């Protein structure tokens, strides 16, 4: 089955860190750029980050630049998002999304609260 499965979400205190993972299966992971998109509770969709096929070119939304790092391991078919200096505004469901936005994972919830 073709799918993306996120993990690593949870409750973290302000200023803390978290690493999200996204496991891909059913397609040639290394052939696709991959995005992270987030959705705060009751809010719309916000693009967060994107990485190209070989992991050499990351892009970030201004709101996360300098705090988040996207990476991938094509041998493990896995995408990562290292999130540092988290604030309450980062509270959201984080979706892993295939390059042309044609496939979305189920998301993982990140809650930043003391």
Partner 1 sequence: DVVMTQSPLSLPVTLGQPASISCRSSQSLVYSDGNTYLSWFQQRPGQSPRRLIYKVSNRDSGVPDRFSGSGSGTDFTLKITRVEAEDVGIYYCMQGAHWPPWTFGQGTKVEIK
Residue 51 CB burial class (10 angstroms; 0-12, 13-18, ≥19): buried
Q: Which of 46, 71, 74, 109 binds partner 1 (CB under 8 A)?
A: 46
Query: Helix (H, G, I), strand (E, B), or coil: what is residue 38?
Result: strand
Give whichever of 9 and 16 is closer to partner 1, judged by the CB atom: 9
Residue 26 makes CB contacts below 8 A (sequence gap 6+) with: 1, 2, 3
Torsion sign, CA atoms 69, 35, 77, 52: negative
What whole-number distance in Å separates Cα of residue 17 and Cα of residue 1?
A: 32
Q: Which of 12, 83, 105, 108 binds partner 1 (CB under 8 A)?
A: 105
Site for partner 1 in 26-45 (CB under 8 A): 35, 37, 44-45
Instruction: Return the range that interacts with partner 1 (CB under 8 A); candidates 21-29, 67-75, 84-92, 97-105.
Output: 97-105
Give the interface size with partner 1 as a residue count (CB under 8 A). 19
Q: Does 107 bind partner 1 (CB under 8 A)?
A: yes
CB of 62 to partner 1, least distance (A): 8
């Amino acid at each position: 089955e073709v799918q993306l499965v996120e993990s690593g979400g949870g409750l973290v205190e302000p200023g803390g860190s978290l690493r999200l993972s996204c496991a891909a299966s059913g397609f040639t992971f290394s052939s696709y750029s991959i995005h992270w998109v987030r959705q705060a509770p009751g809010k719309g969709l916000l693009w967060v980050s994107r990485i190209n096929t070989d992991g050499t070119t990351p892009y970030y939304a201004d709101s996360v630049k300098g705090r988040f790092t996207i990476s991938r391991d094509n041998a493990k078919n896995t995408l990562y998002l290292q999130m540092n200096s988290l604030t309450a505004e980062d509270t959201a469901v984080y979706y892993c999304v295939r390059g042309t936005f044609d496939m979305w994972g189920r998301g993982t919830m990140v809650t930043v609260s003391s």
